[in-house]
């Protein structure tokens, strides 16, 4: 899938070819260095990096030092990005099966100061979209450091 996305992006944004090639090498190195049972963590890291680059347009995919905190969050055992549950387990939690009826995703309305629900009754979590901390994105210390 990445190769298809790579070719399509390169076609539309020819000037980003070097950035895409470097990012491909960067993410591929994680697949090569981790056991296949942990590859889902690399997918989660990739998704978080691409989301961050899309959110803060001053970043490029090949500015790897800007994503070290995401590597810690998603690849290391005690990071905040991965709950330890594999994607199939997360899917069953999201579907309402068992006790995990809440979405793991942050509440965008709450982050924008517009959610009218209490934290316990909201379908989404009242956590920061940037770092998943117990504050909204406007109060995020990471967001302020990176946008400076």
The structure tokens listed for 86 are: 């594999």
Question: Could you report the per-residue pLDDT of 25-74, keeping only the tens digit for each?
Answer: 999 999 889 888 889 999 999 999 988 888 877 888 999 888 888 888 88
Domain ranges within the chain, ordered by starting residue: 1-82, 96-148
> What pairs with residue 125 in β-bridges?
106
Kind and range of the H or E run holding 92: helix 87-94
Q: Determine the pLDDT at residue 25.
A: 92
Asked if residues 116 and 107 have their Cβ atoms less than 8 Å apart, the reply is no
On the question of pLDDT at 99 being above 50, the answer is: no
Q: How confident is the model at residue 5 (pLDDT cuts 50, 70, 90)?
A: confident
Q: How confident is the model at residue 93 (pLDDT cuts 50, 70, 90)?
A: very low
């Amino acid at each position: 899938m990445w190769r298809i996305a790579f070719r399509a992006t390169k076609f539309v944004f020819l000037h980003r070819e070097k950035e895409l090639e470097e990012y491909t090498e960067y993410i591929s190195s994680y697949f090569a260095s981790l056991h296949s049972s942990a590859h889902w963590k690399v997918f989660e890291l990739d998704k978080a990096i691409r989301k961050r680059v899309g959110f803060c347009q001053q970043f490029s995919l090949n500015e790897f030092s800007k994503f070290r905190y995401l590597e810690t969050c998603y690849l290391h055992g005690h990071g905040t990005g991965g709950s330890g549950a594999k994607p199939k387990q997360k899917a069953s939690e999201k579907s309402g099966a068992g006790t995990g009826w809440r979405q793991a995703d942050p509440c965008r309305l709450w982050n924008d100061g517009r959610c009218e629900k209490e934290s316990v009754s909201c379908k989404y979590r009242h956590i920061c979209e940037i770092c998943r901390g117990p504050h909204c994105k406007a109060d995020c210390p990471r967001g302020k450091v990176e946008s400076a």
